[in-house]
Structure 1
């Protein structure tokens, strides 16, 4: 993709809309929609790197209630021929056609490489990548198992969504009871994963979400790892102007 003069690529991740409840989530949703309204003015494309919702499951004829302003704004943007790309996260990995059919947004379940103005990006949500976290990796296999999804789909949405929301709010990361700290390069699994991928093939930027901690780390060889942070406490996003990638905070 060649970025036209004066245009930019925008990146955001980890909104967790709906958590821990509608009252606390709604102001964050309003702020995110305001951001979308501003960046669409010079956006060549927008990348959303997962966990837009704290829970999302597509039944055959039903999707979770709410998020009307966000979904409407995304539709408005794609209707104006600005492409949006979505990478599922660990909280909204049960996407199955709704974004593609209703919003014209392609959805990716694995990291993917993109090239903008000869600059190579490796992009994904980031869950389950790199060494360690074996418990989550086993759990993800269950969550993505077709049989498990079939059984969950047979739960009435009122029960299924309530159960998922309860389990999600128990996650201290989302409820705000856990301080997110930098673990050091050797313990940041996504940094280790990026270094391994870099040894296989050069990429200029590795861009992920999931960690909820905004950071930029030099990987050597003119390559950088960037984590986008979140829209719960940081309100950070990435922007590529065709020459360099930066993290910025939305006020």
Structure 2
């Protein structure tokens, strides 16, 4: 379990699902600037920042090429890590194909599966949330295809202009990598991430289970002094999690 010491007066922040680039670079630019304003706001008291995936609506790393754009965001993340604020990134279903760029250029560790952290005196189970729990078999099959080394090898042989254009089309228009159900509350018994957390709770206790992906700000008591938190998004809600050493709560960023 990874540990983070939380000094007095410092906080840990969590955010997810910006989908920068959707539905177009021009239309997502105001949201990108708004997110950067939030990063500037929290920088003075942030002991650490967790980004739980889908920062971009599409991201694929070729050997020597990354998608064009997002200069403001990438520059701000580099500025924060250069200042000594650790940032932890969990890949989402729209940015599955990270392969070293964040680590080498931004000094940001990238996780491809949920991880356990001890922050202060509390235990956290953290991940993006896609493909976990019961059901969603269609997406799980698709994820296996998208992460298959042979499929990625063939995709890399496409010229980046062609590959990014095709993948962005499917990501934005057809929602093959996501789904319309992400924006609807299914009821606690049908929320597959809630069911997943309850099962994990029987294996090992965590005070907080923190995920993104659902695009809904949710806080659900799991019993046994454990809480499930979904961070919402930076498209409709502009919500984030903040942990002050005692309690993790959801807040909304206002201009």
Q: Give 1:6-17 correspondences, 5 Å limit.
A: 6-17=9-20
Alignment match, 1:112: 115
**In the aligned structure 1, how far is the partner of 2:91 from the partner of 2:177?**
17
Q: Give 1:200-215 correspondences, 5 Å limit.
A: 200-215=203-218
Q: Give 1:1-251 correspondences, 5 Å limit.
A: 1-171=4-174, 180-251=183-254
**In the aligned structure 2, how far is the partner of 1:235 from the partner of 1:206?**
20
- State the shift of 1:170 in Å: 1.5
CA deviations on 1:202-222 (whole Å, 9 max, x unpaired) are 100000000000000000011
Q: Which runs of 5+ in 1 are unaligned?
A: none
On the 8 A contact 1:78/1:104 being kept in 2, the answer is: yes
On the 8 A contact 1:51/1:88 being kept in 2, the answer is: yes
Cα distance 1:120–1:105, how it changes in 2: closer, same or farther (>3 A)?
A: same
> How many equivalent pairs are there?
251
Query: Secondary structure of the equivalent of 1:186?
Result: helix
Query: Secondary structure of the equivalent of 1:113?
Result: strand
- State the shift of 1:178 in Å: 7.5
Q: Which runs of 5+ in 2 are unaligned?
A: none
Cα RMSD (Å): 1.7
Cα distance 1:231–1:171, how it changes in 2: closer, same or farther (>3 A)?
A: farther
- State the shift of 1:130 in Å: 0.1
